[in-house]
Structure 1
Amino acid sequence: MIIEFDSDVFRWAAREDSAWFFTAVPSELGHEIREIPRPYRGFGSVRVRARIGGTEWATSIFPLAETDSYVLPLKKAVRDAEQLVDGGPVTVRLEVLDG
């Protein structure tokens, strides 16, 4: 399954000194991902291949408790390469590898 979406970058707000940044998968797409039969992984994660601009990497998305969706962690190397900033827009392509 391959999905594409536009979202915003946000900093994990649980700690003020957090250096963790994410973007959220829209809930309608998150619901579709949840429907894919797959083995359970730690924290309910789902393995994906992500692409933002010219940067592609293997990672996992994680369930977002408040919604029926997932968040994609954005490591510093990706944010730097693609000039992503807190609150800024991002276009994401995800290939779901589990399932």
Structure 2
Amino acid sequence: MDVVFAGHVIEWRGPSPFYFVPVPEEQSADIREVAAMATYGWGVIPVEARIGGITFATSLFPRDGGYLLPVRNAVRKPQGLSTGDEVTVEMAVRL
């Protein structure tokens, strides 16, 4: 399943700060339809994502009925991305 969306980078300031892009509701609903086939536990969904020129493997985190796409520093820093920046995400759910 392929998904394309735009979203803003957010920062979670927990014990270990991390950056995410929230998946919009429409795309989250589509992902929920295949979640049972894709998840490997805890509700996380394995994906391959692309932001700018960088492709990376990660897992979506379930949150408030939707999903958060983690954005590692190895993806964020080379592109100069910070909190509030809008990005376009191309993503494939790994079934």
TM-score w.r.t. length of structure 1: 0.86
Separation in structure 2 between the aligned mates of residue 9 and residue 74 of structure 1, nearest angstrom: 8
Separation in structure 2 between the aligned mates of residue 30 and residue 7 of structure 1, nearest angstrom: 13
Separation in structure 2 between the aligned mates of residue 63 and residue 18 of structure 1, nearest angstrom: 18
Instruction: Assess if the C-alpha contact under 8 Å between 1:50 and 1:94 holds in 2.
Output: yes
The residue that corresponds to 1:12 in the other structure is 12
RMSD: 1.5
Structure 1 gap segments, 5+ residues each: none
Q: CA, structure 1 residues 10+39, in 2 after alignment: closer, same or farther (shift >3 Å)?
A: closer
Higher strand fraction (1 or 2):
2
Which of 23, 26, 35 does residue 25 from structure 1 map onto?
23
| Structure 1 residue matching 2:60: 3-state secondary structure | strand
Instruction: Assess if the C-alpha contact under 8 Å between 2:38 and 2:45 holds in 1.
Output: no
Residues 1-99 of structure 1: pairs in structure 2 closer than 5 A = 1-13=1-13, 15=14, 18-36=16-34, 37-38=36-37, 40-64=39-63, 66=64, 68-98=65-95
CA displacement at 1:70 relative to structure 2: 0.5
Q: Which amino acid aligns with 2:70?
A: P
Structure 2 gap segments, 5+ residues each: none
| Structure 2 residue matching 1:95: 3-state secondary structure | strand
Larger mean CA deviation between 32-41 and 73-82 belongs to: 32-41
CA displacement at 1:48 relative to structure 2: 0.5
Separation in structure 1 between the aligned mates of residue 73 and residue 33 of structure 2, nearest angstrom: 31
Instruction: Assess if the C-alpha contact under 8 Å between 1:11 and 1:18 holds in 2.
Output: no
Count of aligned positions: 94
Give CA deviations for 1:45-66 in whole Å, capped at 9, x if unaligned.
Answer: 11110000100011111111x2
